[in-house]
Amino acid sequence: MKQLLPAIRLSVVLMLICGIVYPLVTTGVAQLLFPNHANGSLITADGKTIGSSLLAQEVKSPGLFQPRASNASYDGAASAGSNRAVASEAYILEMKEKVALVQQENPGLQHIPADLVTGSGSGLDPDLSPVAAKAQIPRISQATGLGEQELAKIVEEHTQGRPLGIFGEPRVNVTALNLALKAELK
């Protein structure tokens, strides 16, 4: 009993600190310093929330930019990679099917950027490489009637550089890009 009471008191104090005080302080600091990020980086259009800039959304329209393939079916609660080895027959067959689909959707496309046919590790990556976005321009131009130079300008305006100038690769958020495209079409 002599050791049990201090152990219980210490457990209660640690639960209060780690379970209530620390989460409240970190949430408060995040809300003060990074409110957009802390609230999920939500994207609104016409006064209604349409998604998050952190998650890819499925796009089926030929007049819009297509995001990376998703092994999670674009479900934020089901983040998943394919978990297939690149040398497996199933993966090779899947890649051949995806390449054929991209070629069918984008006639005349000779070089297919890898991120148009491969999924990200989470299956929810909202970004494409600028090359992958630009590869879709002829299809979108044909479907929307916008000129290829105009579409290239929209892609350039939405291309983000490397974070802090050294990390990662340049990227384009597909949801933001499609919102800009829709605004241009109005």
- Decide: pTM greater than 0.75: yes
Q: End-to-end alpha-carbon separation of the chain, Å?
A: 75
Q: Is 137:131 a contact under the CB 8 Å cutoff?
A: no
Alpha helices in 34-164 (DSSP H): 35-38, 89-105, 130-135, 137-144, 148-157
**Tens digit of pLDDT at every position of the chain (186 positions):** 789 999 999 999 999 999 999 999 999 999 999 998 899 888 888 888 888 888 888 888 889 999 998 888 888 777 877 777 888 898 899 999 999 999 998 888 889 999 999 888 888 889 999 999 999 999 999 999 999 999 999 999 999 999 888 998 999 999 999 999 998 888
> Quick one: pLDDT at residue 100?
93
